[in-house]
Amino acid sequence: MDDLVWQILIAGFAIFVVFKISLITYRRRAFPEPHYKWDEIDTGDLSFPEGFIWGTATAAHQIEGNQSNNWTDFEERAGKERSGEACDHWNLWRDDFNLLSEIGVNSYRFSIEWSRLEPSPGEWNEKAMSTYSDMVDDLLGRGIRPMPTLHHFSHPSWWEEKGGFADERNLVDFLSYSERVFDALSDRVEVWCTINEPTVFSAMGYTLGQFPPGRRSIFLTLRVMKNMMRAHSMVYKRLKERAPECKLGIAKNVTLFDPANRWSPIDWPVSRLLEWLWNGAWRRAITRGSMLGSRIPDAKGSLDFVGLNYYTHFITGLFLPTSTEELSFAKRENEVGTEFGYPMYAEGMRRAIDFVSELEVPIEITENGVADSDDSLRPVHLMRHLWVISEAIKDGRDVISYHHWSLMDNFEWAEGYKMRFGLYHVDFETQERTLRPSGEIYRDVIKSSSKM
């Protein structure tokens, strides 16, 4: 029998066990899936505390252009759209930083491309490092806080060939790269994200096969999830030893899983299982130092802040997709679909904030945004999410920043260039950037909130 079939049978058994346990608590558990009456809400009624941090976010492989890494290999091997020149940001970064100033943000989340810095094992490209250092100086000169991410889905091909995060022995390479970057920039950079969206990376690369290395194995997925947590913990511990005043966190994609039919004895445990694997196991690692049956003691308390990436909720039932082609995003009757296919569900931002609040560290919203090429949905999407955040803060949640994904249209991984997430439209022929109406709205919100 095909390996995947075995894995699905084992997963089926696991679902059955969770189902049994779930039944016991079934009556006692609530089904929190609020839907607000948006027509009755004035989303312009925002109040953000003094000092609230406003930002945008990008990632190296998605904007810099002309990379040579695990992703470019995969684009070729899997016949995906090529990232190519992307936004040519490696050459145009000064102009792009003008765009940040134009919107008025005071924080910029970006990622460092490991494959540029260490194109082959132990060979360091100092010129590339000094470009990142110049970027940091330029941002600081504009009064913009640099927030680098050390791993945002891409890494050197040589590291992928060694097995990347699938092999625990490789984590030392990630640690030494991280130390190198930290040593070069931590005299000026205070806030760092270690890893972006570990669960997305694991699931897309090792279950659905839509990210490199294109594997389809549940066992490997779980191993990668644990190794990414180990990698984060190692980096956290080492970098804090070097500069205790720096703040380090993970950017965690909190996707919510809601049962298609909340009274179905199947949909409910399935959604609970997915929610546990996606969110719960990760949070437990941070609170308890153990993940999916493995002890990771250094994970416990390894966050100075939690980075929250929030996009949507998935409505789940018995049928679980085994590839992205099979992904069909269900929507509630009252929900609008985004171009990506999943629904706009701003209410979920509050649930995600409440979920990470239990970690008892400040919350930085490290990503939130929508693919919307004609900018017809983004204005509403932006305002609803900001309103939800503003209300959460009023209710005492410690949210200290908001970074919109993304500054400009860019290479959306397996989806290529058709998904446009930018506050700026990018003409990929001419590299011209144009502020969208939603970008103007964001600029105005930032401006008026600084007067509050």
Site of interaction with ligand IFM (CB under 6 A): 59, 62, 197, 309, 367, 405, 412, 421
Closer residue to ligand IFM (CB): 163 or 341: 341
Alpha carbons within 13 A on the beta-carbon side of 439: 24
Q: Report whether 255 contacts 311 (CB < 8 A).
A: yes
Phi-psi region of 32 (alpha: psi -120 to 50; beta: other; left: phi over 0): beta
Q: Report whether 62 contacts 412 (CB < 8 A).
A: yes
Closer residue to ligand IFM (CB): 259 or 307: 307
d(CA 144, CA 106): 4
Rounded to the nearest whole angstrom, what is the least distance from the CB of residue 44 to ligand IFM in the complex? 26
d(CA 212, CA 420): 22
Token pair recorded at residue 282: 């990760």
Closer residue to ligand IFM (CB): 43 or 154: 154
Rounded to the nearest whole angstrom, what is the least distance from the CB of residue 350 to ligand IFM in the complex? 19
Residues 63/74/329/345 CA torsion (nearest 10 deg): -30
Chain position whose Cβ is nearest to ligand IFM: 59
Instruction: Please identify every residue annotated as catalytic.
Output: 197, 367
| Secondary structure letter of residue 123 according to DSSP | B
Rounded to the nearest whole angstrom, what is the least distance from the CB of residue 223 to ligand IFM in the complex? 22
Q: Report whether 409 contacts 422 (CB < 8 A).
A: yes
Rounded to the nearest whole angstrom, what is the least distance from the CB of residue 369 to ligand IFM in the complex? 7
Phi-psi region of 54 (alpha: psi -120 to 50; beta: other; left: phi over 0): beta
| DSSP assignment string, 190-247 | -EEEEEE-HHHHHHHHHTS--STT----HHHHHHHHHHHHHHHHHHHHHHHHH-TTSE
Rounded to the nearest whole angstrom, what is the least distance from the CB of residue 235 to ligand IFM in the complex? 19
Rounded to the nearest whole angstrom, what is the least distance from the CB of residue 399 to ligand IFM in the complex? 18
Token pair recorded at residue 308: 């929250």
Nearest to 248 by CA among 298, 309, 286, 305: 305
Rounded to the nearest whole angstrom, what is the least distance from the CB of residue 232 to ligand IFM in the complex? 16
Rounded to the nearest whole angstrom, what is the least distance from the CB of residue 31 to ligand IFM in the complex? 27
Closer residue to ligand IFM (CB): 268 or 282: 282
Closer residue to ligand IFM (CB): 48 or 314: 314
| Torsion sign, CA atoms 319, 323, 325, 330 | positive
Q: For 79-111, what is the HEC assignment?
A: CCCCCCCCCCHHHHHHHHHHHHHHHCCCEEEEE
> What is each CA distance from 399 to 94, 109, 363, 391, 394, in whole angstroms?
30, 16, 5, 11, 10
By the 10 Å C-beta count (0-12 exposed, 13-18 middle, 19+ buried), 132 is classed as: buried
Rounded to the nearest whole angstrom, what is the least distance from the CB of residue 367 to ligand IFM in the complex? 5
Q: Which residue has the tokens 């002890």?
A: 295
Cis peptide before 49 (omega within 30 of 0): no
Q: Report whether 446 contacts 103 (CB < 8 A).
A: yes
Closer residue to ligand IFM (CB): 209 or 369: 369
Closer residue to ligand IFM (CB): 197 or 267: 197
Contacts of 305 (CB under 8 A, 6+ apart): 191, 247, 249, 361, 362, 363, 364, 400
Closer residue to ligand IFM (CB): 195 or 296: 195
Closer residue to ligand IFM (CB): 110 or 305: 110
